[in-house]
Amino acid sequence: MPTVTVQPDGIEVPLEDGETILAGLFRNGYAYRIGCRRGGCAICKVDLLSGEVEYDHTVAENVLTAEERATGTCLSCRAVPVGDVTIALREEHLRRVSSLLAFYAMAAQGKGTPAASSAPNSG
Amino acid sequence: MSVLRMGYMHVRVTDMAEAKQHYGNTVGLYQTLEQDGKVYFKGWDEWDHHSVVLEEGGVGMVKCGFKVLDPGELDGIEARATRFGAVVERMSAGENAEVSDGIRVILPSTHVIEFYHSMTPVGLEVGTHNPDAFPRHLVGIGAPRLDHALIVAEDVGEIERFFKEVVDFYPTERLATSLDDDAHLIATWMTIGNTNHDIAILEGPNGKIHHFAFEMRGWDDILHAGDIFAMDDTPVDIGPTRHGITRGTTIYFFDPSGNRNETFAGGYQCFRDRPVVTWTPEAVGKGIFYHARELNERFMTVMT
Ligand code: FES
Ligand SMILES: [Fe+2]
């Protein structure tokens, strides 16, 4: 299963196979600036620093141009990593909005007991 | 008052199969035609051939159409739109399937709007002779009709002036930087009839659309729509809630290509002599989302 590392803070988040970056981050209890979740509004663009992504739907050229794709812009609501990737959010930080979700997502990954700092309700 | 209403909204979708599923099975519109790569839909409480046109390839608005009562009105619109300085051309019958000849206008904001006088009638789903209150087997949210659109323009004042001077719309509510006469206009909600809006304009990049809306019968149907969106995994932007602006109850949601749709119910009766409501920035959160009283980060930035 691929891992996405999210800069600027270097947070590592496990994804399911076939899962989009957006879906995986939210499932793990994180949030960042998103809009339609359906590839239309372009607000969820991030920079792909390393690794490769595939798109699970047709992405409109007026949302993500060929040039943007070639130069590492990634539409995170439609992008499915092929192997591990590192992305950088644009002018924002990944926010943890649910430590409960993060706790159970970690547990489900078989990572054992998460560190005390990531236990439910610890913030 | 020559214009009757917004008759159709024509948008691009990235995947036609998914879009048909959304507008047909989730929104519950009736497909009336599929031709030349376009799919046409109408709501059950509409009588003309279509109110939504989908075209595959891209995302966002292609154009929208306003119906006028009398073909004779088109000459006046053409003259006034030309005098306004918009790009105006005649369109012939059949350029849009099942739509009459008319006038095509390119607004300074680059939006294309068309005025036409007739469309092939197909009739209300409940008929007009001793009709029932609604069709018994509605699908999805069973949206009755297209209501309005919120388009995005760099110069809101200019587009408001177009709709006033060329087609006699009037604003019912406005969002401005202050109550001063020379305040900057951020958004305006305009109507040609007695509903709150047929068209609204929000400040932002030219040519974009913020959403287009279907009128629902009331709050119960808005709540029911929210239930259907949960069942269909339709992304919900906000709601069910109320807008302070127009007092309407609402859900903003997205189609499978990311075009924002709305279910809208309520509002109040508007008249030309009713004083215009003005909202100012310190209350914009309450104006847009009356209960949360906070603008989410998507409202001003997410559009197609
Ligand atoms: S959230 Fe709208 S394009 Fe990704
Ligand atoms: Fe609306």
Q: What is the pLDDT of residue B297?
A: 85
Q: What is the pLDDT of residue A122?
A: 41
CA distance A102 to B301: 28
CA distances for B155 relative to A22, A46, A56, B185, angstroms: 34, 30, 37, 8
Q: Which residues of A69-107 are buried (b: 16+ CB within 10 A; e: fewer)?
A: beeebbbbbbbbbeeebbbbbeeeebeeebbebbbbbbe
**B260 contacts on A by Cβ (under 8 Å):** 36, 41
Q: Are residues B304 and A40, on separate chains, in Cβ contact within 8 Å? A: yes
Which segments in chain B show pLDDT lower than 70?
Answer: 1
State whether the beta carbon of A23 lies less than 6 angstroms from ligand 1: no
Q: What is the pLDDT of residue A105?
A: 79
Coil, strand, or helix at residue B149?
strand
Map tokens 């947070």 to a residue.
Answer: A11
- The ipTM of this complex is 0.91
**B237 contacts on A by Cβ (under 8 Å):** 35-36
| Alpha helices by DSSP H, chain A | 21-27, 66-70, 99-108
Specify whether the CB–CB gap between B288 and B247 falls below 8 A: no
Please give the model's pTM, rounded to 2 decimal places: 0.94
- For ion ligand 2, residues whose CB falls within 5 Å: B 213, 262
Confidence of residue A111 (pLDDT cuts 50, 70, 90): low
- Render pLDDT for A53-108 as a digit per residue (tens, 0 to 9): 999 899 999 999 999 999 999 999 999 999 999 999 999 999 999 888 888 877 87
Neighbours of B84 (CB within 10 A): 16
Q: What is the pLDDT of residue A117?
A: 47
- Render pLDDT for B169-222 as a digit per residue (tens, 0 to 9): 999 999 999 999 999 999 999 999 999 999 999 999 999 999 999 999 999 999
Q: What is the pLDDT of residue B1?
A: 55
Average pLDDT, chain A: 90
Q: What is the pLDDT of residue B20?
A: 98
Residue A85 bridge partners (DSSP)? A4
User: Across residues A31-35, what is the average pLDDT?
Assistant: 97
- Whether A116 has a pLDDT exceeding 80, the answer reads no
List residues of B with catalytic annotation. Answer: 148, 197, 211, 243, 252, 262
- Render pLDDT for B105-116 as a digit per residue (tens, 0 to 9): 999 999 999 999
Residue B40 bridge partners (DSSP)? B33, B53
Residue in chain B closest to A65 (alpha carbons) equals B58
Q: Are residues B15 and A58, on separate chains, in Cβ contact within 8 Å? A: yes
* H or E element, residue B279: strand B277-279
State whether the beta carbon of A41 lies less than 6 angstroms from ligand 1: yes
The alpha-carbon gap from A113 to the nearest alpha carbon of chain B, in Å, equals 32
- Whether A120 has a pLDDT exceeding 60, the answer reads no
- All structural domains of chain B: 3-116 (3.10.180.10), 145-301 (3.10.180.10)
Question: B290 CA distance to ligand 2 centroid (A)?
Answer: 14
CA distance A61 to A101: 34
- Tally of residues, chain B: 304
| Alpha helices by DSSP H, chain B | 16-20, 73-84, 156-167, 219-232, 284-288
**Residue B215, burial from CB neighbour count under 10 angstroms (0-12, 13-18, 19+):** buried
- Mutual angle of helices B156-167 and B73-84, in 10-degree steps: 150
Nearest to A40 among B57, B59, B301 (CB): B59
State whether the beta carbon of A55 lies less than 6 angstroms from ligand 1: no
State whether the beta carbon of A42 lies less than 6 angstroms from ligand 1: yes
